[in-house]
Amino acid sequence: MRGEFELIERYWAHLTPLGGDVQAGIGGDCARVTVATGMELAVSIDTVIEDVHFPAQTAGQDVGWKALACGLSDLAAVGAEPAWMTLALTLASRDEAWQAALADGIGQGARAFGVSLIGGDTTRGPVRMVTCQVAGTVPAGTAMTRTGAKPGDTVWVSGTPGEAAAGLGQQRAAPGCVDAALRARLDRPEARVALGQALRGRASACIDVSDGLAGDAGRLAQASAVAIRLDEQALPVSAALARAGDSADIRDWILNGGDDYELCFTAPPGAIDAAVLAREAGVAVTAIGTVEAGGGVSLRRADGAVEALGGHGFDHFGPP
């Protein structure tokens, strides 16, 4: 029967390539990496928990991919290039088959985005929990923040928010009847790393959309001390999302759903050529609103009325 360290060696050590920027990885007390001159280090951490962030029956490969994608999306929001990660894994039992699948999913994401696993910890606990800390580099002085939006800027979003929330709703209602496109967006979100790098020098402010578009736009507005007005008719709706519900459902999924891992950003008028940016980054971007003086987030509805949005997004300790 394999113990903790044998499991680490079997499933995780191969994700630590030594040489280049990694001086020491798994197996020591600390990892050591080299950061190039003129670069800043960007670091983020996220945890996904069984039956909070993913249903217990979710395939290990999908949990691994998503756990890494959460952090990579944060790096994308500042325009960083991913480089390294550490992993804290809690399991209720040894469960080698699931751990092997988890390692496969994280490995797929790590290879896709050029990330090396350089350390971590494994423990036993009541439920499965996966914590990924990611780190990357960004040229000094070029990182995007949430604080630069100015009145008159245009508000943009990448991709089609709301699909993951629609997929989750279908899964809860009928686990065997989830639209394939929506399931892919729920289980295999794509961190917009290339887009984040392309936006450096173009965007005035940026945030990753993980807790709902309205909530995260609200956080950007608060950080920049501005108001954001979204246009309901401009919100992008995919074919899969259009099939999944009525107009009220779709609006709720887009604005409040979460788990999108898209980027919401602002830019001065004329600074963004959507077609050029889509070619560079491999994802469509859509102008969805404007930045105004004031505070908070509002929505101009299809009938012309303006509705104030709560703008709080998902909150682990908020009201149900």
Q: What is the pLDDT of residues 33-58, one digit of tens each?
A: 888 999 999 999 999 999 888 888 88
pLDDT along the chain (320 residues), means of 10: 55 61 71 89 94 86 95 98 93 85 93 90 90 96 97 98 94 87 94 98 97 95 98 97 95 94 97 97 98 97 90 49
**pLDDT, tens digit, 9 for 90 and up, residues 199-216:** 999 999 999 999 999 999
Q: Has residue 316 been placed in a domain? A: no
Nearest Cα to 54, choosing from 42, 40, 69, 37?
69
CB atoms within 10 A of CB 8: 19
3-state secondary structure of 314: coil
Look at the chain and report how many structural domains it folds into: 2
Please indicate, yes or no, whether residues 217 and 83 belong to a single structural domain of this protein: no
Domain boundary among 77, 106, 139: 139
Please indicate, yes or no, whether residues 97 and 162 belong to a single structural domain of this protein: no
Q: Strand 154-158 vs strand 262-267: parallel, antiparallel, or unpaired?
A: antiparallel
**CA end-to-end span of the chain:** 43
Q: What is the 3-state secondary structure (H, E, C) of 139-151?
A: ECCCCCCCCCCCC
Q: Has residue 288 been placed in a domain? A: yes
Q: Has residue 205 been placed in a domain? A: yes
Please indicate, yes or no, whether residues 158 and 135 belong to a single structural domain of this protein: no
Q: Whole-angstrom Cα distance, residue 302 to residue 313?
A: 22
Q: Has residue 99 been placed in a domain? A: yes
pLDDT of residue 92: 87
Please indicate, yes or no, whether residues 109 and 177 belong to a single structural domain of this protein: no
Please indicate, yes or no, whether residues 228 and 120 belong to a single structural domain of this protein: no
The dihedral sign for the CA sequence 118, 86, 71, 184? positive
CA separation, residue 13 to residues 38, 66, 103, 295, 316 (Å): 30, 20, 10, 49, 33
pLDDT of residue 67: 94
Whichever domain contains 15, its CATH number is 3.30.1330.10
**Two structure tokens written together for 225:** 């001390």
Whichever domain contains 219, its CATH number is 3.90.650.10
Give the predicted TM-score (pTM) of the model. 0.90
**Two structure tokens written together for 115:** 């990330």
Please indicate, yes or no, whether residues 194 and 127 belong to a single structural domain of this protein: no
Please indicate, yes or no, whether residues 117 and 51 belong to a single structural domain of this protein: yes
The domain containing residue 57 runs over which residues?
4-139
**Two structure tokens written together for 18:** 């030594």
Q: Has residue 320 been placed in a domain? A: no
Domain boundary among 98, 116, 139: 139
Please indicate, yes or no, whether residues 77 and 114 belong to a single structural domain of this protein: yes
